[in-house]
Structure 1
Amino acid sequence: MNKRHLLSLLLGAGAALAATPWAHAQGTHAVRLVVPYAAGGPIDVTARALAERVKDALGGPVIIDNKPGAGGNIGADMVAKAAPDGLTIGIAATATNAVNPWLYTKMPFNAQADFAPITQMVRVPNVLVMNAETAQRLKIDSLQDLIAYGKANPGKLNYGSGGNGSAGHLAGEMFKKAAGIFAVHIPYNGGNPAQLALLSGQVDFNFDNLATAAPNIKAGKLKALAVTTLQRSPFLPDAPPVADTLKGFSIDTWWGLVAPAGTPKATIDKLNQAFVAALKAPETQARFAALFAEPVPTTPEQFGAFMKAELAKYEQVVKATGAKVD
């Protein structure tokens, strides 16, 4: 092998390494995964679990950077404005990339144009729950019973949520419209106060995250009438989908991984391969099951199409509620 040939090989290898940020930056750089919510919640926990599993595939550590605030907009904006080099990625969620663009009067980023999808991570069902004592007193044992009661007693039902524009609020308004009933919306300052109001009988029903509601369902304090996914949830198999009664009803919680727009396709593909493999690992699935989170690994194209459809769906939902955040 002559010197010119050897030099050519070395230059080619250097160029290949330069195309993948993790390869040439081992030991000096880490991938930053921005979580636009506080530490300790389900999104944060799942992000940390995946970060631990992909470090070998990416050739270096993945550092979680929690940037909560403004309904997730602060952290999402950091990702949107980061360099498209594969060293900063982030979480895209129902709120940040489907609800907030219609809820907030001013948005710091464009949910559709400013991100390159990597893969969806998980789907978590929401569940329609009643205070068990209230359900017994009103003789409501099913979703059909609730709808029938609402039609026979207009204006007597109410429901709680974590605030105007929250997932529980939007689900409640979708349900009222689809079922043809009226129920007073009572917003609370967060999901926990809303659940406490339901447990104490201050409100009749809530649409809650299954992970949050499950302990009280198991304890018999809450009665689960239906889940909001199109199919039954493996975590609550006895609860039918709302869609079995109200065709097409679907409003679950999801999140996934995105990079800044303009990130090279080769980098996106490398990230996708690493995170999809981590999502499919039995250890990951077992850990996510404890959070009632179903892993949903996808291609970048599938996740992009999914987010586009969700953005269009929530435009109608949010506008119907009239909710706005200035």
Structure 2
Amino acid sequence: MKANVITAHGPAREVFAMRELPDPVPSGDDLILKVLATSVNPLDCRIRKKASVPRNFPLILGFDVCGIVVDKGSNVAGFEIGDRVIGSPTPFRNGANAEYVAIDYRSCVHAGTLGDEQAAAIPLVGITAYEGLFDRLKVAAGDLVVIHAGAGGVGHLAVQLAKKTGCTVVTTASKPGSLAYCSELGADYVLNYRETDVPKAIMDITGGKGAGLIFDTVGGSTFSQCLDYVAYNGHIATILPVEVPETGGYRLLLKNITLSYQFMGGPLQRPESNRQGEVLKKLVNMAESGALRPGVSAVYDWTDLAEAHESMETGHTVGKIVVRVSPA
């Protein structure tokens, strides 16, 4: 099969290359999909630049997929050859920037009536948003939740899910298009982080109490700033590998703060249940009904992955960047 691989860690223009590789062979729990569409996530860029675990090259990225089942393992149930499905390949195996990909069937669902590109925009960010909100923060109707980067891949779905739950949503953005998009998604407060003192604004919104629930999708200084306005007994969930220095940890301790990490790829290493498949099915049903609107800001051909990665690395993506691999 053809695959657009990375040959080493480094800048996108220097490390992507088309290669001919062996077709994947299914294990007992695998589906083999002919890839129709995938997407670019910040995770792809982080792995491309520098991996936190050793990687073998050439390496295939692409951790979303919409594809057609062409082969399956002996343990697979609920899927047949020819089915069009979506899922999130584990980042610890080769991904979907190729003609074919192997993926555990328990993390897949049928794509239903969704188009290939809309379907490929959902899995990784949708499951991340859902787990971050409901499994980590345990948001409920009436809660106020701060969701950073509300126009981004995870953020734009998290804002919608929180609003559907009955939450008051405070989010952040900076570009005019991103600010407008956050308002369109239904966010109650959209803060321009370049022009606004975010901690002060959130303290004002909460009457000086601070935010009890914070979903950090940015990391870095954005995460550090959360410590300035998190409420006593509050909870911060982050999708980034942030480090808390001792002084920061002391501040968390004194306010009795819970800090959670959300990485949807973790359970994919040991798929002991179809929990994420169940979550993904809920998201597909919502998208089919119009209750959830996955945003696709750009579609690239898979031969242009380097350009797609560079666009992602600007940090100003609205919704998702989708990659078309082959026609149905």
What is the TM-score when the length of structure 2 is the normalising length? Answer: 0.31
Q: Per residue, is there more strand in 1 or in 2?
A: 2
Q: Per residue, is there more helix in 1 or in 2?
A: 1
